Structure formats: structure tokens, C-alpha cells
Amino acid sequence: MNQGEFKSGFVSIIGAPNVGKSTLLNHLVGQKVAIVSPKPQTTRNRILAVKTTPDYQLILFDTPGIHRARGDLNLAMVRAALATLDTADLILFLVEAPDSHNLNNNSVFEALRTVGTDVLLVVNKIDLVRPDTVDEVVRSLESRHQFKGSVKISALQGSGLDELVARMVSFLPVGPTYYPPDTLTDLSERFICAELIREKVLHLTAEEIPYATAVTVSSFKEDPEKNLIHIQADIHVERSSQKAIIIGKAGAMLRQIGQQARREMEELLGRRVFLELWVRVQKRWRKDPRALREFGYQ
């Protein structure tokens, strides 16, 4: 393919919460850009990742799960997802085969009715059900929207992704390289580090704690002579009882969060990291427009 035929464009990955959008994004670009956890609504922001080859450049949007939102934070998350639809050259509607009747899919179909963009149906987690069940899922969903085809994948195992990439590229127009070829994401290192800390909270805590937690990086200082980055971050919760759980007995939980996050930060940044974590109570921050703006959710 010569330079005149180079293709590029924007692809938005949408779907209900917890269907594997972030796992798919990470596998498509071959590196961890978006945090993942088994808990719904892990992704709160629009995440951009770039996959560039000599023949094409895919700009991929990972989005928060679309659902019937209640509360200011959830509404902001859904707005972030919907905002990507009008700018995309292609939309991937991701569903999971074991739970294709998820009621949140109704919210996705409602959003798609107002969009003129081509939509490709992508059925994920096909390794968890029989092939005839996957075919039934495709038939059922195709009766509800005029998709431009369907692809069956397992994002976790990586199966079906070559076919998916080929189908995506076929929808892209001839265009320029919007980002330098070595670009992986437009996210700042500060943002990614904050997300890595929040990911560890998601994995290590239960019940309401993960959803009542936000993370901000207050200081990010590099020391080239020592090949060291000093990071200070705040874990925000809504109640003192949540703060006590995050800290844990004799600080054990906070140390575990910090140790796991630091290891991934060092792998990401290629330098040693000195990480300081503080836990702060900000009452009802999920209902506070000022706090939502401060934490990057509006």
C-alpha cells in the first residue's frame, strides 16, 4: 500500500458496563492504556489509544459503560461515552455473549438511533459459551439495529482480533497520520498513574469503596540524576469509615495499594518511583459539581 492509500480514522468502542471494552482496547494496541477490573463502571473517562502501522492509523476511544445513569458522576460518565459517537468514523458496539440480554443494552440502542455512523457488532467472551449460542446472540441483536456486520472475539484470549482489525480498517477513509507513529495515547503520565492507583483500589476493596473513590496526583517530580520520579497522590473518599478501610489495620491496605501501583508505574515510566499516598475525605463528592470538575469527570 503506498502513502496515497494510507488509511486513518476514529473508532469508538461502546457498550454496557463491564463487557470488556478496556481489555479489548489494550489488546488492540498491544499495551496497557486503560485500567481493568471485574467491577462495572471501572472506566470513567474517555480513553484514547493509537495503533499505527505502515498502512493505517486507528485512533480508538474506550468509553464508560452506557447505562441508565443516576447521580452526577454516572451522568458525566455516560455523557463522556456519547460524546465520542458523532466524531467517530466507525462505532464498535461491544456485547458479551454470556449476557447479551443486559438491560443496559437498551440504553445503547437508544443512543445509536440518533447516530448516522456505521456500527459494527462485536460479540465478546465467545470462549464462555457454545458457538450456536453466539450465533443466536448475533441474530437477536441484528434484529434491533442495521449493523454493518458482526465479529466474534475473545478480547481476553486475543482470538478474533486480527479479523476485527481488518474489518475496522476497511471502514476507514484515506487520510493522514493524526498522531506521530510512536504515539500510544494522548493521556498524560499523571493521569495514567492516578488511574493505576484507582485500579488497585478496585481490585483490593469491596462493596461501596471502589465507587466512592477518586484519585488525583498532586505532585509529579522527576529527578534525572537519581533516575527517580517522586509522585504524591490523594485517594479521595466520601466518609471517614471508607478512609479507615482504605488505610487498613496499621496502614496495611494502603501499603498494598501503593506497592502494586508503584510496580506498574515503574514498568510504565521506565524509572524508579517513590510513591506517597494520602487518603482524604471529601463528603458527597460524587454529587458535587466542583469536585467532579476537580477530579476530571466534567
pLDDT digits (tens, 9 = 90+) for 149-203: 999 999 999 999 999 999 999 999 999 999 999 999 999 999 999 999 999 999 9
Q: Is the pLDDT of residue 256 over 90?
A: yes
CATH 3.40.50.300 fits domain 3-171: yes
Counted residue by residue, the chain has a size of 298
CATH 3.40.50.300 range(s) for the chain read 3-171
Crossing angle for the helix pair 240-247 and 252-269, nearest 10 degrees? 70
Q: Is the pLDDT score of 2 beyond 50?
A: no
Q: Which three cell numbers stand for residue 291?
A: 469536585
pLDDT for 3 beyond 60: no
Report pTM: 0.92
Supply the pLDDT for residue 121.
97
DSSP count for the chain of H helices, then E strands: 9, 9
C-alpha to C-alpha distances, 282 to 213, 217, 219, 234, 285, nearest whole angstrom: 10, 16, 19, 11, 6
Confidence band (pLDDT; 50, 70, 90) for 70? Answer: confident
CATH 3.30.300.20 location in the chain: 189-294
What is residue 99's predicted lDDT score, i.e. its pLDDT?
75
The pLDDT score that the predictor gives to residue 41 is 83
Q: Is the pLDDT of residue 58 over 90?
A: yes
pLDDT at residue 4 in the model: 58
Q: Which three cell numbers stand for residue 273?
A: 518511583
Q: Where are the beta strands (DSSP E) in the chain?
A: 7-14, 47-52, 56-62, 90-96, 119-124, 150-152, 214-223, 228-237, 272-281
Q: Is the pLDDT of residue 1 over 50?
A: no
234 contacts 280 by C-beta, under 8 angstroms: yes
Taking the C-alpha atoms of residue 295 and residue 298, their distance in angstroms, rounded to an integer, is 8
Position 114 confidence tier, pLDDT thresholds 50, 70, 90: confident
From the options 3.10.450.50, 3.40.50.300, 3.90.470.20, 3.30.300.20, give the CATH code of 189-294. Answer: 3.30.300.20
Q: What is the CA radius of gyration of the chain?
A: 20
